[in-house]
Amino acid sequence: MAPIVLYRAVVEHACSTEPESENSRVEACHEIVNLINQRTLRILDLVLLLAGSLTSPEKEARENGTRLLGEVVIRCRPVLGEGELHTLAEFLASRLRDWPCLGPAAAACRSLLEEGFPGQVVPGPGGGSGGGPQLRDESASLVLEAMAEMVGAMAAAAVDTAQPHSLRPNASPKCSPRCNLVSVNRG
């Protein structure tokens, strides 16, 4: 297996926040998916290379890093081991609380919960046709709980924005009557 520093540039391209780099991001994502499917790059090494993007204060960087991990889950699921799936489930469930990462994290969580591996592009371990490890019950429960929490928070926010300002708990008297926005952490 090659040293992971050889893949740093392709991971950086996949997580680029430059608007003109969309094609480069897509190509880099395909290359990383191929490397994972061929087991040339391990998921742990990919996460180490993504550390800067996944913990960045820049929301676009976190979103792109989460999107890349989500693509790996969707398109490489049959070659991932049970431990890798559990670790990814824990991480992606936590990303459901980070607003910019919500879309890619939810898509990846959905893929983790599906049994048929819809993004399957390679035979499963051992050369069989499809398959690979299923998500452990505890991992599935973790993902389902996080998704339920996210849906509940979104429903509560929707109800809160529909209430007149004066009926909201902790409504600030200094806020204008036109103020109908709920404070949501989107950064």
Q: What domains are defined for the chain? A: 4-167 (1.25.40)
Residue in 113, 95, 115 with CA at minimum distance from that of residue 105: 95
Residue in 99, 104, 102 with CA at minimum distance from that of residue 182: 99
Packing angle of the helix pair 59-76, 102-113 (nearest 10 deg): 20
Tell me, what's the pLDDT at 180? 34
Confidence category of residue 171, pLDDT binned at 50, 70, 90 = very low
pTM of structure? 0.72
Tally helices (H) and strands (E) across the chain: 7, 0
Distance from CA of residue 134 to its chain's centroid?
A: 19
Question: Mean pLDDT in the chain?
Answer: 79
Digit-coded pLDDT (tens) for 54-101: 999 999 999 999 999 999 999 998 899 999 999 999 999 999 989 899
Residue 5 tokens read as 């520093």
Digit-coded pLDDT (tens) for 138-149: 888 889 999 999
Digit-coded pLDDT (tens) for 92-124: 999 998 989 999 999 999 988 886 544 444 344
| Kind and range of the H or E run holding 157 | helix 137-162
Residue 177 tokens read as 């009557």
Of residues 37 and 184, which shows the higher confidence score?
37
> At residue 181, does pLDDT exceed 50?
no
Confidence category of residue 24, pLDDT binned at 50, 70, 90 = confident
Residue 68 tokens read as 């890349």
